[in-house]
Structure 1
Amino acid sequence: MGKVHPQALHSSTTCNFTSKQETFTLWMKSLVLNGKGCTVFDSNGQIVYRVDNYSCRHRYEVHLMDEKGNTLFTLQRKQYKLSKFWEGYRFPATNNDHKGPCFRVCKTHKITKGVSTNEVELGLDKNQSYAHKIESNTCKSAYKISNEFGVVAAELRRKKSHSGVDLGEDVFTMIVEPNTDLSLIMGIVVAFSLMNSKM
């Protein structure tokens, strides 16, 4: 099977704000043979996002794409001294954006009552940095992304069938709240998954 390479996105913007609460299915598998990544389906079963990583041994750069293979974000693994983190670069950058990263996901070592927290810095491309955080529950394999005020933008948990059967460790339900930049949330989810070796 041939490789499906990411293409440049010709649209002037990559923001896709939700107008209502939406539910998605994340399958932490690539649809490309011998590739690593994930595939995201909407509530109608249509592919909306995908990540296909061909260089599985050296995951230093990954592309988040839409269903047509247009690149929305390029994610790069970085290291500063002992700190490792992932940065997301919006693609294509708009005229007002700098060439710097749009966001950065960093690991923290704070674990309270089985919940670990990761820091997310947003707005780095516009020099308007503001914070989000990812709280993950290690016991339930669930996590949520919230802003500095504690307002939840998205929540992920293991997907279950209608009869309550767990569909596996690599299938998640993602609930995204209204007025949320869906592509940005997906970029954060991918960076978090890469950081925690889930992809």
Structure 2
Amino acid sequence: MARVYPQAQPHQLAQASPSSPTSSTTLQREVFTIWMKSLVLNGNGCAVYDSGGRLAYRVDNYGCRRGEEAFLMDSGGRVLFRIRRTKNLLMLGGWEGYKYSASQQEEPAPSFRAKKKQPKIFSGDEACQVTVVNADGRCYRIEGLVCKPAYKITDVVGEVVAEVKRKQTASGVILGEDVLTLVAEPNSDLSLVMALVVLCGMMGHSM
């Protein structure tokens, strides 16, 4: 299926869409529900809902090959991040994230770069680690199980910034692997956290 705005570039999408009330930084712990289902027919992505059940973010790759490119948008469809697999041979096996603002006039420089470190073969450890360095030099790590929807995002000193796991109902029933809970800790950059969640989905080829 064609893109919603088939002729537009990401910075043009940002100008064409209404602003969102979603805050970029949370002052308290925030809980979101991630439904691993694109809102665009034949797309690969997800929808993110806040604790009140309102759409907070949406993600889609608009028919691109899974793991190659995806767009993080606010509830109004404004592009916040474009995440893509890098074509740079020096970053082979890496990804880059580009952050957009409502006044963006041209393609920005990468806001973060990420590299996945595979677990050692026959080590008995399924955990993989992703190192993310953003434009201001801050470093984040994503640690979890290979091909499992359970991981943590930590900062350079090891403090947990956000955690993703399968959603559990109030009665204790664990839902399917396509329904997740995202917990973002206070003072987290929500758009960056969501971009890293998208990155994990791309690495796992779920979007």
1:196 has 2:207 as partner: no
Q: What residue is the counterpart of 2:152 in the other structure? A: 144
Query: For residues 144 and 183 of structure 1, what CA distance do their matches in structure 2 show?
Result: 16
> 1:176 Cα deviation (Å)?
0.3
Question: After the TM superposition, which of the residue ranges 68-77 and 54-63 deviates more from structure 2?
Answer: 54-63
Q: 2:14 aligns with which of 8, 15, 34?
A: 8
Q: Helix, strand or coil: the match of 2:191?
A: helix
8 A contact 1:42–1:48 mirrored in 2: yes
8 A contact 1:86–1:195 mirrored in 2: no
1:60 has 2:72 as partner: no
Runs of at least 5 residues in structure 1 that lack an aligned partner in the other structure = none
Give the TM-score normalised by the residue count of structure 1: 0.84
8 A contact 1:4–1:69 mirrored in 2: no
RMSD: 2.7
Query: For residues 60 and 157 of structure 1, what CA distance do their matches in structure 2 show?
Result: 24
8 A contact 1:15–1:184 mirrored in 2: no
Q: 2:101 aligns with which of 63, 67, 92?
A: 92
Q: What residue is the counterpart of 1:114 in the other structure? A: 126
- Equivalenced residue count is 191
Q: What residue is the counterpart of 2:188 in the other structure? A: 180
1:104 has 2:113 as partner: yes
Q: Flag the 1:147–1:169 CA change in 2: closer, same or farther, 3 A.
A: same
8 A contact 2:149–2:180 mirrored in 1: no
Counterparts of 1:15-164 in structure 2, within 5 Å, are 16-57=24-65, 60-81=68-89, 83-92=92-101, 99-110=108-119, 113-122=125-134, 124=135, 128-138=136-146, 141-164=149-172
8 A contact 1:88–1:187 mirrored in 2: yes
Give the TM-score normalised by the residue count of structure 2: 0.81
> Given residue 17 of structure 1, which amino acid in structure 2 is its aligned partner?
T
> Given residue 62 of structure 2, which amino acid in structure 1 is its aligned partner?
Y
> 1:104 Cα deviation (Å)?
1.4
Question: After the TM superposition, which of the residue ranges 29-38 and 57-66 deviates more from structure 2?
Answer: 57-66
Runs of at least 5 residues in structure 2 that lack an aligned partner in the other structure = none
> 1:49 Cα deviation (Å)?
0.4
User: Percent of aligned positions with the same letter in both sequences?
Assistant: 45
Q: Helix, strand or coil: the match of 2:200?
A: helix
1:69-124 per-position Cα deviation (integer Å, ceiling 9, x unaligned)? 001111121133372211111102889xx9311111211124573322111111x2
8 A contact 2:57–2:73 mirrored in 1: yes
1:20-65 per-position Cα deviation (integer Å, ceiling 9, x unaligned)? 0010001111022211101100001111000122224365332110
1:143-162 per-position Cα deviation (integer Å, ceiling 9, x unaligned)? 00001100000000011222
